[in-house]
Structure 1
Amino acid sequence: MKRSKGVALGLGIVALVAALGWWNWPVTVQAARPTRGPAIEAVYATGTVEPTILMPVSPRAGGRLTAVEVEEGQHVARGQVLARIESDDLDQTVSEMRAREQLAQAQFERTRQLVEQGFMSRSELDRARTELQATGAAARRARVQRDYAQLTAPADGVVLRRDGEAGQFVPAGQAVFTLACCAPLRVTAEVDEEDIARVTVGQTVTMRTDALPKQLFSGMVSEITPKGDPVSRSYRVRIRLADAPPVDAGPLRSGMTMDANLIVSRRDGALLVPNAALQGSTVWLVSEGRLRRRPVVLGVAGAGLTEIVSGLGDSDMLVLSPPAHLRESQRARVAPGVSTLPPFASMNGQ
């Protein structure tokens, strides 16, 4: 009986010692010190590269294309014929109106001579003059309508796109050519209505495109549309590219998608920590071999890092991805490989 009690007591002591050992056993954590870098608050938007001046060229009247005179990428001059549309009926109309005009002209001359000789009244001359003017106007109108069968360049520019082939019927108003004229490329972006209040004309913009991943583009907000789109709930923002290339210079081309960061504020030398180290507005630190839970004041939050306004110092050892079971004052040891966090170029993570 006494021996059983002794065994039980011994087991209890062992269990107590094991529990105390487990309780005081140091937990191994990954840790790093914060870093200093720029904290950039930015509005993110997606945009498209486009010419500053875009000119679609379309026929005023539908018809079949009989000839296409230019190709995509070709430079054209103002007034140059780009394509021709069948116009046999208009040619006949012009010939008819020209004949009527010649007849009216001859009739006017005969009437004028007879009036001067006193064989006809002046009212007959007025009637002949009116007929001549009417037929002349009809002839000019016919020639203008025939000229509509030729698609011409409205200004000097570059043919960006051609949407028609010889023999194809083109409805009235459908663009056959798209030209870019006399201005460099720009970016048009859509900004969510929740962020548009933080966007102003003159704001600095940094941009990148997946088509040119190694290049970073800079620009400035030049225009903000006064009315938003109620469907997409966004506002159109025009961005002027710094050192913008011509539309055909490359490698930046019209139609490329651009990720834009519209800079709201920038603070150099800000204290930055990884988002994974945060538990709400608190962090875990390793101090003298013990874990300490510390509240912090957060600043700009990005996709990878967050700015710490107060509550943390440069020399503090920050626990990375702290487990949920950590306790205040718990013994801890830092796993090998303690590092300083790499600098971060943009707080919005774009």
Structure 2
Amino acid sequence: MNYETRLDVTHGIPAGEDADMDQRAAKKRKWIVAGVLVLAVIAAAVMLTRGGEPEPFTGAEASIPSVTVIVPRQGTYAGVINATGTLAARREMPVGVVGEGGRVVSVPVEPGQWVRAGQVLAVIDRSVQSQQAASATAQIAVAQADADLAQANLDRALQLVDRGFISRADVDRLTATRDAAVARVRVAQAQAGERQARNAQLNIVAPAAGLLLTREVEPGQVVGAGSGVLFSIARGGEMELLAQIGEAELGSIPVGATGQVTPAGSDQSFTCQVWQKSPVINQQTRQGTARCAMSYNAALRPGGFATIALAGGTMVATRLPESAVMNDDQGSYVYVVGEGNKVERRAVELGMISDEGIVISSGLSGNERVVARAGGFLTVGEEVKPVVQGAGQGSGQ
């Protein structure tokens, strides 16, 4: 029996398999076309993002680092100066032993109490001194009796002198005796007054009204002139902040400037006023003290830490982010991109510091291209490719 098999003369492939191969070829062409379309879309997106096809860099251009620069410009800034300091009594009065001292009998006050002028803070035993005062008073009586007797003798002598029974010399002697007796009365009176004054100084009293801050004495303790400070009083309860401020900023703060004080650990703020600036600058810290007065409040405790925001007027200057300012042994400086895109070092003086940046009080005109960050990786004279970040850094507030 003869079977006839049909063959594709051209390809030598059976006719039944020809259709399957055509389908696989068509599917492959579709995948190729789809891939080409995806690559074309990606290329178009890249060109739109970059604004065109970038020119390829040569080997020298590719080695030049790109840096971000800003042109800060000048602006008018509110003079807000942030500082820290220690709370203290504006007028702290130390109180110690004024008299001869002795054994403390009682201490009727406690720290935190308000005291009035002349109030007794500590009572000193005066049993011995009381007897001395009584003795001094008795001496007055003795001296007065002698003076009365001397006066009576003189009076009798004066009646007899005209009759010739008493000579003028006797009268002079009796007169001197009378005068001496009267003088002894005055001496006794002065001694008694001194004893009374000493006794009055035995008790320790408040020299002025105010808030009692400390108490360093207890009943039974023996105190004297060398006992030191036994009490301290904030006169009138007035407080102040001893704000430590840099010498450049201290000069821009006028006496009478107001600020807001926030004690550590508190969310309360208190208004204060600068009433005195230190005439001396600390040589180690290059800071001075601004004394800011405040009224009494229970949240203000002498010796505590606090922050302050002071109004220091306005100024026209440039401002940079903290990342642009660097420091070394020679002081504060920034890097600017000068002619030929070369890096230059520029010394600057720093002004007020805030969350928005650092005000540059001198050293910049505001038109320079200042390296915004990573300046520590550059060297002076190095060529860079500046990329301008923007000119909005110098807007005033």
TM range (shorter): 0.5 to 0.7
Alpha-carbon separation, structure 1, partners of 2:273 and 2:93: 24
Q: Which one has the bigger strand percentage?
A: 1
> Structure 2 residue aligned with 1:90, among 124, 129, 140?
129
**In the alignment, structure 1 residue 58 sits paired with structure 2 residue 91:** no
Q: Which one has the bigger helix percentage?
A: 2
Q: Deviations over 1:32-80 (max 9, x none)?
A: 89697737596x8764333333222211324221111222222222222
Aligned to 1:255: 303
**In the alignment, structure 1 residue 273 sits paired with structure 2 residue 325:** no
Whichever residue aligns with residue 56 of structure 1, its letter is: P
Whichever residue aligns with residue 216 of structure 2, its letter is: D
Deviation at 1:199, TM superposition (A): 6.8
Q: How does 1:143-292 map to 2 (within 5 A)?
A: 143-173=196-226, 174-182=228-236, 184-188=238-242, 198=251, 202=255, 204=257, 206=259, 208=261, 211=264, 214=267, 215=269, 217-225=271-279, 228=280, 237=289, 239-241=291-293, 244-246=294-296, 249-258=297-306, 266-267=314-315, 271-277=318-324, 280-283=333-336
* Superposition RMSD in Å: 4.9
| 1:201 to 1:37, Cα distance in 2 relative to 1, 3 A | closer
Give the TM-score of the pair, scaled to structure 2: 0.58
| 1:199 to 1:251, Cα distance in 2 relative to 1, 3 A | same
Q: How does 1:130-149 map to 2 (within 5 A)?
A: 130-149=183-202
Alpha-carbon separation, structure 1, partners of 2:388 and 2:193: 95
Secondary structure of the residue that 1:131 maps to in structure 2? helix
Deviation at 1:143, TM superposition (A): 1.3
- Matched-pair identity in %: 21
Does the 8 Å contact 1:41/1:300 carry over to 2? Answer: no
**In the alignment, structure 1 residue 48 sits paired with structure 2 residue 86:** yes
Structure 1 gaps of 5+ residues are 1-17, 286-291, 346-350
Q: Deviations over 1:120-156 (max 9, x none)?
A: 8333221221111111111111111222211112222
Whichever residue aligns with residue 176 of structure 1, its letter is: L
Whichever residue aligns with residue 131 of structure 1, its letter is: R
Q: Deviations over 1:250-298 (max 9, x none)?
A: 3223333455677776326x5432232357543579xxxxxx6676977
Higher mean alpha-carbon deviation, 209-218 vs 26-35, is at 26-35
Give the TM-score of the pair, scaled to structure 1: 0.65
Higher RCO, Cα 8 Å, sep 6+: 1
Whichever residue aligns with residue 303 of structure 2, its letter is: G
| 1:300 to 1:38, Cα distance in 2 relative to 1, 3 A | farther
Alpha-carbon separation, structure 2, partners of 1:64 and 1:329: 83
Does the 8 Å contact 1:209/1:256 carry over to 2? Answer: no
